[in-house]
Amino acid sequence: MSGRDILPILACALGVAALACVPFLFGDYGLSMAINIVSYTVLATAWSLFSGPTRYVSLATVAFFGIGAYTTAVFAESLPWVAVLAIATCLGVVVAAIVGLATLRLSGVYFVIFSLGLAELVRQLVTWWEVNKTRTLGRYVFTDITAAQIYWQLLGLAVLVFMAGFLIGRSRLGLALRAIGDDEVVARHSGIDTTRAKVALFVLSTVFMTLTGAIMAPRWTYIDPAIAFNPVISFTVLIMALLGGVHRLYGPVMGVVPLALLFEFLLARFPNHFSIMVGLVFILIVYAIPRGIAGLVEQTVERARRQPA
Amino acid sequence: MSALLQVEGLTRRFGGLVAVDSLSFTVGAGEVVGLLGPNGSGKTTVLNLLSGALKADTGSVALKGQAIAGKPAHQIARLGVARTFQLVRPLGSLTCRDNVLTGLAFGRGRSWGAAARSEADTLLDRVGLARARDTLPGELTYIDQKRLELARALALQPELLLLDEWLAGLNPTELEEGIALIRSLSGQGITILLVEHVMDAIRSLCGRCLVMNTGRLIASGLPQEVLADPEVIRAYLGDDGSGEGRDA
């Protein structure tokens, strides 16, 4: 490895180390904002790992997030934390593999609708189970995990999702997914097993979502299906990823930070008009910056480079 | 010459329409065979069946004795069947080099990294796109997009190359280059089955021609023979108006 390779790695490591200090520097409010931002960073980056290159728009984010949250709610008191995370991972993988194999043959709008339906289906199933089998609709999540610990776990997960994205981008699988996004028929005729590639990445992407849900659950102390499977989470992730730009690994985070701050502001100031405002923001993003902030930045850089020549 | 491709009783229906009707033929290793016929006679459907884009209703396809009918397209591609499309389909967000890399990375070679990149550049040179390695296909002319598609097909290291009107729409100079390119591929040992309407190309390239009409094979043989066949002429041009042959 030459010095040129080490420099960016060193910069990233320093950045992560600086971010890890957040719990010591800011108060409770600052920490809760940071948790919010990092969790959405993981969700939006994981979302665009799959949906970015393949252009399969998924609204199933919250299905996996909720599965993770419920895993924590059910097992956190009886099992060690590592085991809880392992169970969440396994559940996420199994559900994602089944769903992926069944649905990734669908394309375009059919997949979007299915993914939205899936989240609702999982929510209804959990509700049915809780009402009829366990006779409780809500659950308390009692753990001794502190907010700072949640933040550090999410930060670690964020590092993992970026590393996964970086490695996939340079791998055969990354090329396969971009080819699939362009033209699935051509991809198949180029020898790409499109179903396997899509399912593999769908599973990977949803594992990060499931783990985010599992890690975040202790924040709530009380969860019920309406909280854990709130469809707004799916839409928020989608909007954030699109605002940032899904064609670059660093894109989604550029959408997460401004929108998380904006939503915080809107929720505080206009709690009753929040949904309308979010809708307006969404429309604005799609019309004004279809390639996201990352696309905008690239355009500006490109223009600046051409001008002196 | 041993048969590289053996097709038996291949049939495909679309609703009530029999697009390909119990078609049987063989292509020997190293041959260049033209697949002719008027529009709508089922030529492209045959290519789609051979490459796995469509599944046959009945019939068998064997490549070097191995049954490939019904296999998914990516497996057929890896077994050595590559194709181009009638309307060009470049991968729009990938550079020309990456377009070719898809074939290299997932084809029989399964090469990756620096070796694959230099192989991709060699293939782009070969089809005359050396200058366009880092360009996006959208910036290429139609002809160059066709060249790119050919390079991507060649990246699979095919034994059988299916060309769907690859020479259509070329000007006379480009046509000459195109014919020379196909001939050089054949010289390299690649077996070629081409759907084509450009008669000059058929005469100069094909050792043998198959002619289809309404899903059936109506003639097969040397190009000059089949092109003079009365039934082939009738299929292309219709009856001569005397009333003969319509019911024959």
Q: Name the residue among A175, A176, A183 with its Cβ closest to that of B89.
A: A183
Last residue of one domain, picked from the residues B124, B157, B190: B157
Last residue of one domain, picked from the residues B141, B157, B173: B157
B169, B133: one domain: no
Number of alpha carbons in the 13 Å side-chain half-sphere of residue A82? 0
B80 touches chain A (CB under 8 A): no
B162 touches chain A (CB under 8 A): no
Name the band, by pLDDT with cuts 50, 70 and 90, for residue B230: confident
Q: In the predicted model, is pLDDT for residue A308 greater than 80?
A: no
Between B109 and B207, whose confidence is greater? Answer: B207
How many other C-beta atoms lie within 10 A of the C-beta of residue B5? 23
Which pLDDT does position B239 carry in this prediction?
Answer: 67
Query: How, if at all, do strands B208-213 and B216-221 pair?
Result: antiparallel
In a domain, B152, yes or no: yes
A193 touches chain B (CB under 8 A): yes
Write out residues 242-271 of A within 8 Å (CB-CB) of B. 247
B130, B162: one domain: no
Structural domain boundaries enclosing B37? 26-54+71-80+158-248
Q: In the predicted model, is pLDDT for residue A83 greater than 70?
A: yes
Spatial CB neighbours of A162, under 8 Å, sequence gap ≥ 6: A45, A249
A296 touches chain B (CB under 8 A): no
Give yes or no for a contact between B123 and B100, defined as CB atoms under 8 angstroms apart. Answer: yes
**Average model confidence (pLDDT) across chain A:** 90
Write out residues 114-153 of B within 8 Å (CB-CB) of A. 152
In a domain, B117, yes or no: yes
In a domain, B66, yes or no: no
B166, B140: one domain: no
A178 touches chain B (CB under 8 A): yes
pTM (2 decimals)?
0.86
B170, B222: one domain: yes
Q: In the predicted model, is pLDDT for residue A284 greater than 80?
A: yes
Which tens digits make up the pLDDT trace of B55-91? 999 999 999 989 998 899 999 999 999 999 988 899 9
Which tens digits make up the pLDDT trace of A93-116? 999 999 888 887 777 788 889 899
Q: How far apart are CA A105 and CA A101, in angstroms?
A: 8
B144, B245: one domain: no
Q: Note whether A186 contacts B91, CB cutoff 8 Å.
A: yes
B134, B167: one domain: no
Last residue of one domain, picked from the residues B103, B132, B157: B157
B76, B175: one domain: yes
A298 touches chain B (CB under 8 A): no
Which of B54, B93, B112, B156 to probe by mutation at the A interface, max A CB count within 10 Å?
Answer: B93
Name the band, by pLDDT with cuts 50, 70 and 90, for residue B231: confident
In chain B, the number of structural domains is 2
Q: In the predicted model, is pLDDT for residue B241 greater than 90?
A: no
B150, B93: one domain: yes
Give yes or no for a contact between B151 and B129, defined as CB atoms under 8 angstroms apart. Answer: yes
* Percent of chain B's residues with pLDDT above 70: 95
In a domain, B136, yes or no: yes
Residue ranges of domains in chain A: 3-230
- Give the nearest chain B residue to A183 (CA atoms): B91
A189 touches chain B (CB under 8 A): yes
Q: How far apart are CA A262 and CA A281, in angstroms?
A: 10
B75, B164: one domain: yes
A221 touches chain B (CB under 8 A): no
B162, B43: one domain: yes
Which pLDDT does position A279 carry in this prediction?
Answer: 85
Spatial CB neighbours of B98, under 8 Å, sequence gap ≥ 6: A175, A178, B91
Tell me the ipTM for this assembly. Answer: 0.87
Q: In the predicted model, is pLDDT for residue A254 greater than 50?
A: yes
Between A46 and B174, whose confidence is greater? Answer: A46
Q: In the predicted model, is pLDDT for residue A54 greater than 80?
A: yes
A-chain CB neighbours of B150 within 8 Å are: none
- Give the nearest chain B residue to A193 (CA atoms): B74
Which tens digits make up the pLDDT trace of B123-166? 999 998 989 889 999 999 888 999 999 999 999 999 999 999 99
Beta-bridged to residue B164, according to DSSP, are: B195
In a domain, B150, yes or no: yes
Q: Note whether B83 contacts A189, CB cutoff 8 Å.
A: yes
